């Protein structure tokens, strides 16, 4: 049985946590040498750690967001000041590690054949997503931060030339942050093989030149407050999580 075969056997497993889920070959994350010169800082990557249950589907993703209060429908005032009929707060679902893990595995499953070495996300909202996707792919997880208005790698994070990178976010709205991370990877000589998000609330309008995956897509309307049809219909916008 090849490594690929065992991967497939695991991902179609029973969903139980037991030793046989890893094929009885010992620890799931056996260190191995990565491709010469491109595997990153320590030149060690890990065998792919496989999920022990089926990845979330689109419906399951949205159901989990709704169950955790991370997806609300109604009339909301967003941090940007815009009004919307949808409110998303991924932190409310990602605060549950089991959910974060399942969501990360769901996204990772769509990039399993892309030989991803490193997963990157913009801080803060993307950090847990990158971490969980990277865990499922056996890759590294980095995050970028804005410094002087520019998205950068800080804290000693580095990328090797030609390193295969996946850029992820919790929610893609316009794709602006993702594009900034893509640029940051390019500046460091890395290669972006795809972009992914748990939720796409752009309705699919945010375009990228590389493979792009969202676990779930939501058509969310946003309006300037002064021309919001929900306001004009007499309802009052609320800001979830706000005390006012
Ligand atoms: Zn409104």
Is the pLDDT at 205 greater than 90? The verdict is: no
Q: Both tokens of residue 236? A: 């009052």
DSSP track, the chain = --HHHHHHHHHTS-S--SGGGGTTSS-S--EEE-STTTS-TTSEEEPPPPPSSPPP-HHHHHHHHHHTTSEEEEEEE-TTS-EEEEEE-THHHHTSHHHHHHHHHHHHHTTTTS---EEEEETTTTHHHHHHHHHHHT-EEEEEEEETTEEEE-TT----TT-EEEEEEEEESSSHHHHHHHHHHHHTT-EEEEEEEEEE-BTT----SSEEEEEEE-B--EE-GGG-HHHHTT---B-TT---
Q: How far is the CA of 85 from the centre of ligand 1 (A)?
A: 8
Residue 242: predicted pLDDT: 66
Q: How far is the CA of 243 from the centre of ligand 1 (A)?
A: 18
Q: How far is the CA of 228 from the centre of ligand 1 (A)?
A: 4
Segment 153-169 shows an average pLDDT of 97
Q: How far is CA 126 from CA 8, 28, 94, 225, in A?
A: 28, 25, 10, 28
Residue 17: predicted pLDDT: 41
Alpha-carbon span 31 to 122, nearest angstrom = 27
Q: How far is the CA of 86 from the centre of ligand 1 (A)?
A: 11
Q: How far is the CA of 74 from the centre of ligand 1 (A)?
A: 10
Q: What is the pLDDT of residues 182-199, one digit of tens each?
A: 999 999 999 999 999 999
Q: How far is the CA of 149 from the centre of ligand 1 (A)?
A: 30
Segment 149-172 shows an average pLDDT of 96
Q: How far is the CA of 76 from the centre of ligand 1 (A)?
A: 7
Residue 73: predicted pLDDT: 95
Q: How far is the CA of 160 from the centre of ligand 1 (A)?
A: 47
Q: In what order do the strands lie in the sheet with 71-77?
A: 71-77, 83-88, 222-223
Is the pLDDT at 1 greater than 80? The verdict is: no
Residue 219: predicted pLDDT: 87
Q: How far is the CA of 230 from the centre of ligand 1 (A)?
A: 5
In this structure, are residues 139 and 110 in contact, taking their beta carbons and an 8 Å threshold? Answer: no
- List CB-based neighbours of ion ligand 1 within 5 Å: 83, 228, 230-231, 237
Is the pLDDT at 91 greater than 80? The verdict is: yes
In this structure, are residues 79 and 91 in contact, taking their beta carbons and an 8 Å threshold? Answer: no
Q: How far is the CA of 72 from the centre of ligand 1 (A)?
A: 15
Q: What is the pLDDT of residues 29-56, one digit of tens each?
A: 445 544 445 444 455 455 555 556 677 8
Q: How far is the CA of 226 from the centre of ligand 1 (A)?
A: 8
In this structure, are residues 120 and 168 in contact, taking their beta carbons and an 8 Å threshold? Answer: yes
Q: How much is the mean pLDDT over the chain?
A: 83
In this structure, are residues 154 and 183 in contact, taking their beta carbons and an 8 Å threshold? Answer: no
Q: What is the pLDDT of residues 118-150, one digit of tens each?
A: 999 999 999 999 999 999 999 999 999 999 999
Segment 67-82 shows an average pLDDT of 93
Residue 2: predicted pLDDT: 44
Is the pLDDT at 176 greater than 60? The verdict is: yes
């Amino acid at each position: 049985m090849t490594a690929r075969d065992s991967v497939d056997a695991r991902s179609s497993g029973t969903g139980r946590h037991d030793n046989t889920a890893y094929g009885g070959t010992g620890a799931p994350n056996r260190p191995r040498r990565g491709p010469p010169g491109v595997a990153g800082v320590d030149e060690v990557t890990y065998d792919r750690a496989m999920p022990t249950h089926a990845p979330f589907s689109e419906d399951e993703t949205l159901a989990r967001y709704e169950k955790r209060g991370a997806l609300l429908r109604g009339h909301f005032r967003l941090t940007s000041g815009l009004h919307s009929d949808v409110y998303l707060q991924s932190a409310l679902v990602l605060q549950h590690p089991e959910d974060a893990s399942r969501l990360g595995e769901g996204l990772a499953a769509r990039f399993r054949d892309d030989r991803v070495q490193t997963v990157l996300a913009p801080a803060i909202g993307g950090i847990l997503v990158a971490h969980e996707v990277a865990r499922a792919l056996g890759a590294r997880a980095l995050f970028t931060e804005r410094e002087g208005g520019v998205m950068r790698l800080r804290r000693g994070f580095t990328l090797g030339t030609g390193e295969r990178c996946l850029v992820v976010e919790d929610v893609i709205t316009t794709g602006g942050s993702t594009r900034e991370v893509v640029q940051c990877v390019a500046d460091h000589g890395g290669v972006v093989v795809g972009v992914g998000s748990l939720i796409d609330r752009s309705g699919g309008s945010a375009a990228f030149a590389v493979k792009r995956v969202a676990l779930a897509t939501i058509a969310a309307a946003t309006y300037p407050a002064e021309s919001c049809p929900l306001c004009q219909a007499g309802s009052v916008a609320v800001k979830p999580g706000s005390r006012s």
